[in-house]
Amino acid sequence: MTRFTAPIAEQIWDMKYRFKEADGTPLDHSVEDTWRRIARALAAVEAEPEVWEPRFYAALEDFKYLPAGRITAGAGTARSVTLFNCFVMGTVPDSMGGIFDMLKEAALTMQQGGGIGYDFSTIRPKGASVTGVAADASGPLSFMDVWDSMCRTIMSAGSRRGAMMATMRCDHPDIIDFIEAKSDPARLRMFNVSVLVTDAFMEAVKADAPWDLVFDGRVYRTLDARDLWNRIMQATFEYAEPGVIFIDRINAANNLNYCETIAATNPCGEQPLPPYGACLLGSVNMARLVDRPFEDGADLDEEALVSLVGTAVRMMDNVVDASRFPLEAQAAEARAKRRIGLGVTGLADALLMVGARYGSEEAARLTDRWLHRIARAAYLASVQLAQEKGPFPLFDAEAYLASGTMEAMDDDVRDAIRIHGIRNALLTSIAPTGTISLYAGNVSSGIEPVFAYAYTRKVLQKDGSRTEEEVVDYAVQMWREKFGDRELPDYFVNAQTLAPQDHVRMQAAAQKWIDSSISKTINCPEDISFEDFKDVYMAAWDQGCKGCTTYRPNAVTGSVLSVSEDKQDLSAAPEARSDTSEGAEVVHLSEPLRRPASLEGQTYKVKWPNTEHAIYITINDVILNGHRRPFEVFINSKNMEHFAWTVALTRMISAVFRRGGDVSFVVEELKAVFDPRGGAWVEGKYIPSILAAIGGVIEQHLISIGFIEGEGMGLKADPKAEVVNLPGQGAGPACPSCGQYGMQMIEGCMTCRDCGHSKCG
């Protein structure tokens, strides 16, 4: 018997969370071993670990409580990794030395696996004078480019790339450059970017008033507030960034506004944090807590929910003491305030099980009720911990209870806090749960609607072959088990069929009881008008949200295949459904190409300084549907020191090329390799390593054959082959981890639905 309800769940566990030796030998022989490892590690900080270990195990069992990936993968392994997901770094000084000190801290944090956020509003604008050097400042965007380059070279723990969030105030003189930076597809790829929008700015937008751009007390420029708002809206309409963070609302609601000021968030935006702030994450799986799903009287077991939340809060509080931290300043900040971020996943599935249509008034009412119960249970559990272990060190009862969030809390909870204190300054957050949701049986992510009810994915087998398997939403699978092929009811809706305002309604309902913030994507149809698109953001402001992230499919962000409105197609058995979608414009390769008898190619010579022999790179191409594309690479050198790695590189790159699709990421990966012994100047350009030089040669070849647009740019034309997606599935960009075309904007972050890889770490 296995606890996994779907093959993809077991594959995610084995790939991301299973504890293994360095050579790949499993130390967790089953998922029960993983749960036992986590429970034992978090109970170890208790005075009576033998009492708490079985209780922690019971919470983890059957995926009821889901610690975030860093805890699941790292707890109890003795590895030098942090168990915290979220960090905001220190305030960036407006000096060259201070800026590069911050860069070093960022590298150390990402090296241990933490995603980071920075506010770049503190750096003087482009063109401002620099005292003592007779020069003008290059501005914050130039330093963001440096951060971006650094992030490319850091492979985070657990095979995760570093993830970063950059914020800038709406009154900074360089705000327009910041807004438009991501219009260049080759720039700031490692960053998510968001504008810090103030209450005063929103009032100016509504009043159509002027708006000053200011730094260090000097007004650099005055423009129309509504014009600046339209620029923000136009940018996110066209390429999904920047996001919008209502920063004054965040600070007013913050339980700790008496001792900290927030100006940045973690990469997905659900954790607004002060300088050196850190937060850990975990989610209660709502889909596992519904009594009598799809039957009359189906409802969430709220007693079980309250009990589970209490245990989860204790486990998360223990992580503060059990975790390592990249920097001592982060450890001190975490222990002074003991922030945790308990959220939910499987909300949409739970709503389906009780017969509520996601986005409806009824669904919003249930969301409000359920999250209210979670908030109460979390705060009261933290009060009990304060009685047992003491409140967080910076607790000040009257100041704490005067914050916006606590003023809305129930009187009995407020009274308990006033009398006994509270262990954790903040307790709730809705984080991205894409990977752990797959691990838990493909439950719906966070508070998002179901993205798609079923799809097929290609699975690479040990013998190199690929097989297809169906991935089914958890609630849909339960429906099939109960009712077979019966048609899905009308209240089954998905992310593509919902109106944007339904998304906003659900985010606002959840935000009422979340003391941090929410990572959520509001899906908009491609043909939404610009005015209607702007209304989504204004509705988010008017309804009390702390921020807003949208996704509108287009040529820049990625297209989405048409959604089938035939519910019978979605609920039918796999063999009864079609694997094609009419009208799909983007189709992609998924199987290896066969080698023709002869190929055309080109050989390039690379002479690396201070080496005796040159390297020769031959790239052969294949013609596919009238387009020339790379098929194989041969790298040769008489230098025997190069032999092993050139052969390995030849085989790996050729294997990737033969898989087809968008293989331009190979160039990006090679060009990001830095030699610790130093690079070299070649033809007036600094190249950080021999591998980067090879990447540059391949890039120039791809440009010459018309495969990519230009240096640092993406595909010139989409590769063509058969469609492997089911109706309702997106044909997004290629995943840099598994190579499948499953990248979608989910919970504010590009995430692969096939392997769970996330741009945000």
| Active-site pick, 260, 270, 632, 747 | 270
Report the helix count and the strand count for the chain, using DSSP H and E. Answer: 25, 32
* AA letter at 546: K
CA gyration radius, the chain: 26
Distance CA 17, CA 83 (A): 13
CB 257 within 8 A of CB 31: no
Distance CA 747, CA 454 (A): 19
CA nearest 340: which of 42, 111, 119?
42
> Annotated catalytic, 270?
yes
Q: Which two tokens mark 300?
A: 């969430």
Q: What are phi and psi of 322, to 5 degrees?
A: -85, -20
Distance CA 277, CA 275 (A): 5
Q: Which two tokens mark 614?
A: 């040159």
Q: Which two tokens mark 259?
A: 């001792």
CA nearest 704: which of 633, 648, 629?
629
Tell me, rounded to whole angstroms, the distance of Cα 338 from its chain centroid. Answer: 23
Q: Is 174 left (phi over 0), alpha (psi -120 to 50) or beta?
A: alpha
CA nearest 744: which of 448, 320, 537, 406?
448
| Active-site pick, 192, 251, 257, 266 | 266
Distance CA 701, CA 633 (A): 11
Distance CA 730, CA 751 (A): 12
Asked whether the CA dihedral 550, 554, 557, 559 is positive or negative, the reply is positive
Q: How many residues does the chain have?
A: 761
Bridge partner residues of 311 (DSSP) = none
> Annotated catalytic, 711?
no
Q: Which two tokens mark 527?
A: 């043909």
Distance CA 364, CA 447 (A): 11
| Active-site pick, 268, 735, 749, 755 | 268
Bridge partner residues of 484 (DSSP) = none
Distance CA 722, CA 115 (A): 37
> Annotated catalytic, 755?
no
**CA distances to 81, 113, 152, 552 from 108, in Å:** 11, 9, 14, 35
Q: Which two tokens mark 351?
A: 């709503």
Residues with a known catalytic role: 266, 268, 270
